[in-house]
Structure 1
């Protein structure tokens, strides 16, 4: 068996679903533009620079989920997918996924973005398995807090190994493993797999990939 792991934002997508979700809510006047837009941009720049405090960001990103009933959030999400996500699916994403699926590889999207936003994106891309940051739920509604370990940086390895254990698997279950990512934040997991692949990488990851002779590809 072989394992194929895919980052989502700026990898399979030519954009960031976390950032776009906040922008969508601002455009719908759900969030106050004056208060939220500058903070959204600030957090995104911190993420790209590798300086993001994930818990500070999640407090910002998950809190709005707690202010609205799940039914309304689901309705907004449907519009969000049509308006913001489908247009930014990277042109080469489906072909790359199909290549691994044809080989019967175990395909998993692993992302720091929360599962409320990303679960339907994984479905759109035809990938059944998703490891994402989990928003806390109480009586079916979001509390605005995170549940468990965010799948960010080293947390991606922790969450993946938890998932493998729950499915009676380990790293040794796989003859080969791939991880496709654009971001310096994913260096811990990229260094763990047998085939790290830099996809439309940021400057830091591009340099790291060149230094270590990792493949560098574009899905755009």
Structure 2
């Protein structure tokens, strides 16, 4: 494979934030206390939008919530979440973009700051086998402990995790003639700056301004 195609997930391939929507889903089904959880979930989302989120603090909150429930129950809820929230939100333009890179025989990867429990079924829905996401810790029985394994997969951490993943295949970013990264957020400027073809996708205001200044391509997937 001569080319590498990287995709952020939330607000890039999806027109929503899967982590935030998962939290709202738990509130709707009564799995968590509506008032306290929804407010904290909203506060963290606002910090993410502002670029001030502490990823470790947020992941400990998110994974700690997951750890309150048996894995079997979590999997059942996630299947419901996919049916009610994720699948109805996926737009043809996003699936067609991914497929275009796959049909070109490129190495395709989704790389997201959201945890793997939430995102692995979503990546599978897009037909993408390769996923880098925040890794929850599991105990010997396969239950979530509420802890994060390794470092967060956000900001500069995306480069660290991508380099490790490529190294496991004896590759680097320079191994590819063309490397493309699609993202919506200024949080991903480090990785966007590292690839040969950065594409600001559905960009927020900060990334849109940066992309314009740098002469990067801009893509709007969800315009009706």
TM-score range, shorter chain: over 0.9
Native 8 Å contact 1:6 1:179 kept in 2:
yes
How far did 1:34 drift? 0.9
CA RMSD of aligned residues (A): 0.8
Query: Which residue of structure 2 lines up, in the alignment, with residue 195 of structure 1?
Result: 197
Q: Secondary structure at the match of 1:216?
A: strand
Mapped to 1, the partners of 2:211 and 2:148 lie a distance apart of: 32
Give every structure 1 segment of 4 or more consecutive aligned residues whose post-TM-superposition deviation is greater than 3 Å. Answer: none
**1:1-220 matched pairs, under 5 angstroms:** 1-139=2-140, 140-220=142-222
Indicate if the aligned counterparts of 1:13 and 1:90 stay in contact, CA closer than 8 A. yes
Instruction: Please give the secondary structure, in 1, of the residue aligned with 2:144.
Output: strand
> TM-score if structure 1 supplies the norm length?
0.98
Q: What is the CA–CA distance in structure 2 between the aligned matches of 1:155 and 1:65, rounded to whole Å?
A: 23
Q: CA deviation at 1:114?
A: 0.4
Q: TM-score if structure 2 supplies the norm length? A: 0.96
Task: Give the deviation of 1:172 after TM superposition.
Answer: 2.1
SS of the residue corresponding to residue 10 of structure 1 reads coil
Question: 1:23-44: per-residue Cα shift (whole Å, max 9, x none)?
Answer: 0011111110111101111111
Q: Distance in 2 between matches of 1:89 and 1:113?
A: 17
Unaligned ranges ≥5, structure 2: none
Q: Secondary structure at the match of 2:12?
A: helix
Q: Distance in 2 between matches of 1:195 and 1:67?
A: 42
Q: String of CA shifts for 1:85-143, please: whole Å, max 9, x gaps.
A: 11221331111111111111100000000001100101100111000000011111100
**Gapped runs of 5+ residues in structure 1?**
none
Structure 2: distance between partners of 1:182 and 1:141:
33
> Contact 1:134 / 1:146 at 8 angstroms: preserved in 2?
yes
